[in-house]
Amino acid sequence: MDVIEEGRSRLILKENGVLNAEESDYPGSYTIDDIWSHEKFKKVFMVKIVKYNETEMEFDLIGIHAAIANAFRRLLISEVPSMAIEKVFVYINTSLLQDEVLAHRLGLIPLKADPRLFEYRQPGDTDGTEQDTLEFQLKVKCTWNPNAPKDSTSPDDLYKDHKIYTKHMKWLPIGGQGDIYKKRDVGPVHDDILISKMRPGHELELNLHAVKGIGKDHAKFSPVATAFYRLLPEIILTRDVEGEEAERLQKCFSPGVIGIEESEYGIKRAKVLDARYDTCSRNVYRYEDLRDAVKMGRIKNHFIFTIESVGALPPDVLFIEAVKLLKIKCRTFLDELNHV
Amino acid sequence: MNLIAELAGEDSDTKSRTFVFEEGGHTFGNALRCIISRYPEVMLCGYTIPHPSEASMHFRIQTTGPRAVDVLKQGIEDLEKLCDHTMTVFQDEMAQFKAAN
């Protein structure tokens, strides 16, 4: 790879800093054609799915600019909607947890409801309709357990209902909601989220209203636990590293990054197996005799994207929703420009 | 309400404009800047959010000839096409991955 191509496409990880971090591929910077065209983008852009399950996925976005990848990440965290408890009507709360603390805890419970099927609640509307609200009831009273073993001191034996879990939340369908949704499709993602602890005589009677919202308004509406990307690491050995040096080199990187192959004469030689999951720590540079053997870098347009869903929607659907949101933004601005 | 306005005081020249986006932010601003600054006829393109507690985003374009509005329009169109293409490619890959696993 020539010097110019390296400067354009690689980030260089030095002992005390990072070189080439800026984007330099603007028209006029080089003799290379850097003009934006959709056809060119179509040719280079690639997606590769690496891992996928219901709540977490990892995929590669190749041939895209950091600004675009970052836009998707920001949209996932703060603008893709989800449902969360927003209003709590407290009829009885004789527990130790104050009303506002309890309400905050309830707000953070992830719900399974699909936000695409709901509308945003209109500002000023306090009651809500079946299109924009899910209603739950939480009614629990803690009592003494009359059948507790005499010598027991454990709260689990002594009291009944002293731990309030999400499974105590009862869904109250509004209007025709009972025909459209099933109980397991709208309730909390997990049944065993501890909300509060009580003692005999304590009682809770609450009505909860869950509405649709976005992470920008409150983090509880964010549909992802995390959404992040990193650049694909690249490690190049510039000379042969053999024997004891090879083993030392292997220990400088994350497990599985450097392998050792043994030649027919019994010489151990280091070899880069897979740099993908390297943490890019600069451990090698601590050794005078090894620092000249490696070149560490990252590929500037290869993004390893990870999305961890909170549980309402699978991560691939969330990504599509994020891209759709950016498209909708473009559409509304274009409509406005075309009308002027 | 108007979503896009122009900053006053630049009527003499159509090549340079500062557009004020009512709801923009870094998400949209930087993505759009990334595309528009790669057009050959654009001399300068940048954006700023003048005050962190206000939603408005200022987007500046200076060109060597074409009207700034046209460049802006072209930029948003290209960004929209990029979104469409990203969705298609991602959904194709996802379908293949699900079929294979």
Same domain (yes/no): A215, A237: no
Same domain (yes/no): A109, A96: yes
Structure token digits, residue A284: 């090698």
The sign of the torsion formed by the CA atoms of B71, B77, B83, B85 equals negative
Q: What share of chain B is helix, strand, coil (3-state, %, to 5)?
A: 45, 25, 35
Residue to mutate among A79, A331, A333, with most B CBs inside 10 A, is A333
Structure token digits, residue B66: 């074409």
Mapping DSSP onto H, E and C, the string for A227-265 reads EEEEEEEEEEECCCCECHHHHHHHHHCCCCCEEEEECCC
Residue that finishes a domain, picked among A221, A253, A284:
A221
Question: Hey, how many other C-beta atoms are within 10 angstroms of the C-beta on B2?
Answer: 10
Q: d(Cα A234, Cα A257) in Å, to the nearest integer?
A: 10
Assess if residue A292 is contained within a domain.
Answer: yes
Assess if residue A230 is contained within a domain.
Answer: yes
Residue that finishes a domain, picked among A190, A221, A252:
A221
Assess if residue A71 is contained within a domain.
Answer: yes
pLDDT per position as a tens digit, B5-57: 888 776 678 899 999 999 889 999 999 999 999 999 999 999 999 999 999 99
Place of tokens 């300068």: B44
Of A34, A45, A334, the CB nearest to B38: A34
Same domain (yes/no): A216, A296: no
Domain CATH for A260: 3.30.1360.10
- Residue A259, strand partner residues: A271
Q: Could you say which of 3.20.20.80, 1.10.510.10, 3.30.2000.10, 3.30.1360.10 is the CATH number of the domain covering B2-100?
A: 3.30.1360.10
| Chain B CA closest to residue A60 | B90
Assess if residue A337 is contained within a domain.
Answer: no
> pLDDT class for A239, splitting at 50, 70, 90?
very high
Same domain (yes/no): A216, A252: no
Kind and range of the H or E run holding B42: strand B42-48
Q: Do A334 and B77 touch (CB under 8 A)?
A: yes
Note whether ipTM > 0.90 here. Answer: yes
Same domain (yes/no): A212, A256: no
- Residue A56, strand partner residues: A308
Domain that holds residue A277: 3-21+39-78+226-304
Strand spans (E) along chain A: 10-14, 17-19, 46-52, 56-62, 82-93, 134-141, 143-144, 159-160, 163-165, 169-172, 194-197, 203-213, 224-237, 258-262, 268-272, 294-309
Q: d(Cα B54, Cα B68) in Å, to the nearest integer?
A: 25
Same domain (yes/no): A176, A88: yes
pLDDT per position as a tens digit, A244-273: 999 999 999 999 999 999 988 889 999 999
- How many domains in chain A? 2
Residue B1: per-residue pLDDT: 53
User: CB-based contact (8 Å) between B17 and chain A?
Assistant: no
Place of tokens 């420009």: A337
Domain CATH for A164: 2.170.120.12
CB pairs under 8 A between A and B: 108
Structure token digits, residue A132: 């924009």
Q: Mean per-residue pLDDT for A322-328? A: 97
Same domain (yes/no): A198, A280: no
pLDDT per position as a tens digit, B66-88: 999 999 999 999 999 999 999 99
